[in-house]
Chain A
């Protein structure tokens, strides 16, 4: 609801000295196209960080570097104080506690909401194929444990009514919510959200904002999101990182960034230079 958007950002216990994730001097090129050049971002535990920038600025590329889909040519990534080895696979990154959602919803359309969320638990399943197929002993106890965890997420995201519905039949806004649920099911430390509110109406956006707040407050998960709706971004994020042509041009709290001349010129455009922001 609208009230929760206007709630002041809460101060969550944060160890200023050691960021949760450090992205240092990243450079990423596809042939001659320089997607990211010398980008450094520190992500603190417990914050909501928004990455903004015009189309093609390198926002999704940055998320892809963080979760291991792309390997940068230069730079290093330090997660929870440990430097990541060069060629870490996305599933290994996920196992370290980084989950994400995608710009275009990437769910198993024919499977129910519940089953989609259960796939988020795969990383935490430790029983073999054989015992799972027989649904016996430890596999059974495991399944019950995972199901119980998934149910807390269903409750959290208020999607009880669509538990058994194939996700392909759900409206877009709900599919986005299910995808968020699957990411949460992985029990991440850091959650990357690529345009979580794209294509949503005002009410759905308000709901999603509330969920993002609650994810941070209730689950203690750090959130990094890419979002185009400036109203939403200014409301919910503790800090903004602005990218333009693969470079970081600003980094700071919303109040500071919105008055930054470089940002106004590059991204928000001259029309926004008046009192609106």
Chain B
């Protein structure tokens, strides 16, 4: 579209959209119990005032500005305001501890920071001395900050007031700056949390983001009346594409939840039509449903299980547009009235036209559950380095074990070593101040994804594991050892929250398990099993029996695959604490840092492959307020008998 070619930056889009439909609702945020709305005109005013204020404070082209906080309209506007002036927003994970922030602030050389509240201001003040470039901090929520005396602190409303005065004195300044912006300019820097090493700053241009976002809008048929809920961290590329880039491209409405604790309620109130969630969230919702159903009256329970059976048989086929028999059609219609409809309504998923899951593999049972309810959830394969979109399952070709076909203008190939590689207009400019890592990842426009996978007969991409993690078990039949694949299989159990498996060049595969406190806790309560804490519950023999049963089920699946039969889990232990990003065991996006965990729990790994059936462990834990303490526990180690394949036997 030639018309759109001129609109090659977000600030230009903002002006254009505001001109076209000044009174259309742009954003909502729930505040003080009421959904507040902003039209495009109001939003544009806010952005302009903020841009003027930042200009008055000396923000220059190329300056980096940290953005830290929950999804708030003001923070999204701050991004646009910064981009108006040619600055580069650098969103940070809001739950990161001060030291982690320090690294990014220093590395990105941020001069300004726009943050949400006192919590974030406290963190910044704690590291300010070590970040000499950081000059100015702007906060949106003044609560608790009244008596802070730092001269570098400013309220966002004050900055906007200055901005309005500035605009009166220099009426055309902001517009001139907006006009100077080019699609090839650096639009944003997103630090990948990375399962290994230091975070890397992925540089994306306006072209990268806008072309990718527009292609997805066209292929997936997004409309200007979509409603989405912006609840995933702003520092994560997914939120940036869905709640920011596509918001500008497709003109839909972005809703910001009241707080991070109320997301499920806000979801119910908004009823989004376009929704994104990582597998973890889909799992959480399903677990909540299952727990509530177990506690429901028997008639409800019976009805639920009966109609879910019908749905599993019929729903997915209906969604794929295949024909089903008359009897099933009628049953499904009845189920929709009695069970699926009310259930979807309750979860806030009733109006969904398009939903994605991505980031990690999703359990086939979980995936099928939502599909069979008639929710069009699809798998997406994306990376920060690609401005998200690489592959998406086309409508009508949705299966639980692939990630679909390449998006428009995206080329995918498999390297001779079996690594997935791709090339697209969305491919990033490079890692900030890290030419070595850029050279390792970018190869003549092609990106090394680091994932092992293959393209199947239908042209769908299938991901197995991280390429460097795939190895062999050190037993007689040298079975394929794909840790992520095994861990995901384990995590498909509602009782297992996290798993870490070992087996590379070991005699057999062993596993660390984190139980799901909510699901196992509920299970324990129904059996009258009293417990005091996670550590206590995790050490119960009954819980070990429960997990043993779950692992045996996974083993039975593995036994059917000749490649994997030797990778069955033979021993496991339940960890005495939950793996936690604050302790460095998980990334901020809650992926296991394998190497770190292996080093930290080396004694436990040895014990897995030792003769004893118990081991004592002492771990340092870091509390939310930054203090640390020691946690000591004795862990049981439990054996699991291997399964044999039914097919072979």
Which residues in A have some Cβ–Cβ distance to B below 8 Å?
A: 1-4, 7, 10, 147-148, 151-152, 154-156, 158, 160-161, 163-164, 202-203, 206, 210, 213-214, 217-218
B32–A155 contact, CB under 8 A?
Answer: yes
Of all A-B residue pairs in the complex, the 10 with the closest CB atoms, nearest first, are A161-B261, A2-B625, A151-B32, A151-B33, A161-B262, A160-B258, A3-B122, A10-B147, A160-B262, A160-B259
> In the complex, which residue of chain B has the Cβ closest to the Cβ of A156?
B143
- In the complex, what distance in Å separates the CA atom of A161 from the CA atom of B268? 13
- In the complex, what distance in Å separates the CA atom of A23 from the CA atom of B625? 39
B143–A214 contact, CB under 8 A?
Answer: yes
Name, among A3, A154, A160, A206, the residue most crowded by chain B CB atoms within 10 Å (CB to CB): A160
A203–B625 contact, CB under 8 A?
Answer: yes
Instruction: List chain A residues, Cβ under 8 A from B143.
Output: 156, 214, 218
- In the complex, what distance in Å separates the CA atom of A156 from the CA atom of B143? 9
Instruction: List chain A residues, Cβ under 8 A from B34.
Output: 151
Known: A2-B625, A206-B625. A161 touches B146 (CB 8 A): no
Instruction: List chain A residues, Cβ under 8 A from B146.
Output: 217-218
B33–A202 contact, CB under 8 A?
Answer: no
B144–A214 contact, CB under 8 A?
Answer: yes
Known: A161-B265, A163-B33. A210 touches B144 (CB 8 A): yes
- In the complex, what distance in Å separates the CA atom of A155 from the CA atom of B259? 10
Instruction: List chain B residues, Cβ under 8 A from A148.
Output: 32
User: B444 on the interface (CB 8 Å rule)?
Assistant: no
CB-defined A-B contacts under 8 Å, sample of 13? A1-B119, A4-B118, A148-B32, A151-B34, A152-B32, A155-B32, A158-B261, A160-B258, A160-B259, A161-B259, A161-B265, A203-B625, A206-B625
> In the complex, which residue of chain A has the Cβ closest to the Cβ of B146?
A217
Q: Could you mark each residue 243-278 of chain B with 1 if its beta carbon is under 8 Å from any beta carbon of chain A, else 0?
A: 000000000000000110110010000000000000
B623–A202 contact, CB under 8 A?
Answer: yes
User: B3 on the interface (CB 8 Å rule)?
Assistant: no
User: B58 on the interface (CB 8 Å rule)?
Assistant: no
Distance from A145 Cβ to chain B, minimum over Cβ atoms (Å): 13
B259–A158 contact, CB under 8 A?
Answer: yes
- In the complex, what distance in Å separates the CA atom of A9 from the CA atom of B259? 29
- In the complex, what distance in Å separates the CA atom of A10 from the CA atom of B144? 12
User: B528 on the interface (CB 8 Å rule)?
Assistant: no
B258–A218 contact, CB under 8 A?
Answer: no
Name, among A1, A154, A214, the residue most crowded by chain B CB atoms within 10 Å (CB to CB): A1
Known: A161-B265, A217-B144. A2 touches B32 (CB 8 A): no
Instruction: List chain B residues, Cβ under 8 A from A164.
Output: 265
User: B626 on the interface (CB 8 Å rule)?
Assistant: yes
Instruction: List chain B residues, Cβ under 8 A from A203.
Output: 623-625
Instruction: List chain B residues, Cβ under 8 A from A147.
Output: 33
Q: Could you mark each residue 607-645 of chain B with 1 if its beta carbon is under 8 Å from any beta carbon of chain A, else 0?
A: 000000000000000011111000000000000000000
> In the complex, which residue of chain B has the Cβ closest to the Cβ of A148?
B32
Query: Besides A151-B34, A214-B143, 14 other CB < 8 A contacts?
Result: A1-B625, A2-B625, A3-B126, A4-B144, A148-B32, A151-B33, A152-B32, A154-B33, A158-B259, A160-B258, A161-B265, A203-B623, A213-B144, A214-B144
Distance from A111 Cβ to chain B, minimum over Cβ atoms (Å): 17
A2–B147 contact, CB under 8 A?
Answer: no
Q: Which of B527-574 contact A (CB under 8 A)?
A: none
Partner of B147, one of A152, A155, A202, A217: A217
Instruction: List chain A residues, Cβ under 8 A from B262.
Output: 160-161
Instruction: List chain B residues, Cβ under 8 A from A158.
Output: 259, 261
Instruction: List chain A residues, Cβ under 8 A from B32.
Output: 148, 151-152, 154-155
- In the complex, what distance in Å separates the CA atom of A212 from the CA atom of B262? 24
Instruction: List chain A residues, Cβ under 8 A from B31.
Output: 155
> In the complex, which residue of chain B has the Cβ closest to the Cβ of A4?
B144
- In the complex, what distance in Å separates the CA atom of A210 from the CA atom of B145? 12
- In the complex, what distance in Å separates the CA atom of A69 from the CA atom of B331? 64
Distance from B146 Cβ to chain A, minimum over Cβ atoms (Å): 6
Q: How many interface residues does chain B have, given as a range?
A: 20 to 34
Which residues in B have some Cβ–Cβ distance to A below 8 Å?
A: 31-34, 118-119, 122, 126, 143-144, 146-147, 258-259, 261-262, 265, 623-627
Distance from B67 Cβ to chain A, minimum over Cβ atoms (Å): 21
- In the complex, what distance in Å separates the CA atom of A151 from the CA atom of B258? 12
- In the complex, what distance in Å separates the CA atom of A202 from the CA atom of B626? 12
> In the complex, which residue of chain B has the Cβ closest to the Cβ of A7?
B147
> In the complex, which residue of chain A has the Cβ closest to the Cβ of B625?
A2
Distance from A85 Cβ to chain B, minimum over Cβ atoms (Å): 38
- In the complex, what distance in Å separates the CA atom of A215 from the CA atom of B483? 51
Instruction: List chain B residues, Cβ under 8 A from A7.
Output: 147
> In the complex, which residue of chain B has the Cβ closest to the Cβ of A162?
B261
> In the complex, which residue of chain B has the Cβ closest to the Cβ of A202?
B623
- In the complex, what distance in Å separates the CA atom of A25 from the CA atom of B147? 37
A160–B261 contact, CB under 8 A?
Answer: yes
Instruction: List chain B residues, Cβ under 8 A from A163.
Output: 33
Known: A163-B33, A217-B144. A2 touches B626 (CB 8 A): yes
Distance from B509 Cβ to chain A, minimum over Cβ atoms (Å): 37
Instruction: List chain B residues, Cβ under 8 A from A213.
Output: 144
> In the complex, which residue of chain A has the Cβ closest to the Cβ of B125?
A3
- In the complex, what distance in Å separates the CA atom of A3 from the CA atom of B625? 8
> In the complex, which residue of chain B has the Cβ closest to the Cβ of A3?
B122
Instruction: List chain B residues, Cβ under 8 A from A155.
Output: 31-32
- In the complex, what distance in Å separates the CA atom of A147 from the CA atom of B32? 10
Distance from B476 Cβ to chain A, minimum over Cβ atoms (Å): 51
Distance from A146 Cβ to chain B, minimum over Cβ atoms (Å): 12
- In the complex, what distance in Å separates the CA atom of A161 from the CA atom of B262? 5
B623–A218 contact, CB under 8 A?
Answer: no
Distance from A218 Cβ to chain B, minimum over Cβ atoms (Å): 7
- In the complex, what distance in Å separates the CA atom of A213 from the CA atom of B145? 12
Instruction: List chain A residues, Cβ under 8 A from B627.
Output: 2
> In the complex, which residue of chain B has the Cβ closest to the Cβ of A1?
B625
> In the complex, which residue of chain A has the Cβ closest to the Cβ of B123?
A3
Instruction: List chain B residues, Cβ under 8 A from A218.
Output: 143-144, 146
- In the complex, what distance in Å separates the CA atom of A206 from the CA atom of B625? 9
Distance from A269 Cβ to chain B, minimum over Cβ atoms (Å): 26
Instruction: List chain B residues, Cβ under 8 A from A1.
Output: 119, 122, 624-625
- In the complex, what distance in Å separates the CA atom of A4 from the CA atom of B625? 10
- In the complex, what distance in Å separates the CA atom of A1 from the CA atom of B623? 11
Instruction: List chain A residues, Cβ under 8 A from B144.
Output: 4, 210, 213-214, 217-218
Distance from B156 Cβ to chain A, minimum over Cβ atoms (Å): 17
Distance from A160 Cβ to chain B, minimum over Cβ atoms (Å): 5
- In the complex, what distance in Å separates the CA atom of A68 from the CA atom of B147? 35
> In the complex, which residue of chain B has the Cβ closest to the Cβ of A214?
B144
- In the complex, what distance in Å separates the CA atom of A26 from the CA atom of B165? 59
- In the complex, what distance in Å separates the CA atom of A215 from the CA atom of B532? 33
- In the complex, what distance in Å separates the CA atom of A148 from the CA atom of B32? 7
- In the complex, what distance in Å separates the CA atom of A161 from the CA atom of B119? 19
Instruction: List chain A residues, Cβ under 8 A from B33.
Output: 147, 151, 154, 160, 163
- In the complex, what distance in Å separates the CA atom of A142 from the CA atom of B284? 40
- In the complex, what distance in Å separates the CA atom of A217 from the CA atom of B148? 12
- In the complex, what distance in Å separates the CA atom of A151 from the CA atom of B31? 9
Instruction: List chain A residues, Cβ under 8 A from B258.
Output: 160
Distance from B224 Cβ to chain A, minimum over Cβ atoms (Å): 30
Instruction: List chain B residues, Cβ under 8 A from A217.
Output: 144, 146-147
- In the complex, what distance in Å separates the CA atom of A206 from the CA atom of B627? 12
- In the complex, what distance in Å separates the CA atom of A158 from the CA atom of B118? 14
Instruction: List chain B residues, Cβ under 8 A from A151.
Output: 32-34
- In the complex, what distance in Å separates the CA atom of A217 from the CA atom of B624? 24
- In the complex, what distance in Å separates the CA atom of A158 from the CA atom of B31? 12
> In the complex, which residue of chain A has the Cβ closest to the Cβ of B626?
A2
- In the complex, what distance in Å separates the CA atom of A263 from the CA atom of B143? 37
Distance from B61 Cβ to chain A, minimum over Cβ atoms (Å): 35
Distance from B70 Cβ to chain A, minimum over Cβ atoms (Å): 12
- In the complex, what distance in Å separates the CA atom of A7 from the CA atom of B32? 28
- In the complex, what distance in Å separates the CA atom of A4 from the CA atom of B34? 29
> In the complex, which residue of chain B has the Cβ closest to the Cβ of A154?
B33
> In the complex, which residue of chain B has the Cβ closest to the Cβ of A159?
B261
Instruction: List chain B residues, Cβ under 8 A from A156.
Output: 143
Distance from A210 Cβ to chain B, minimum over Cβ atoms (Å): 7
> In the complex, which residue of chain A has the Cβ closest to the Cβ of B121?
A3
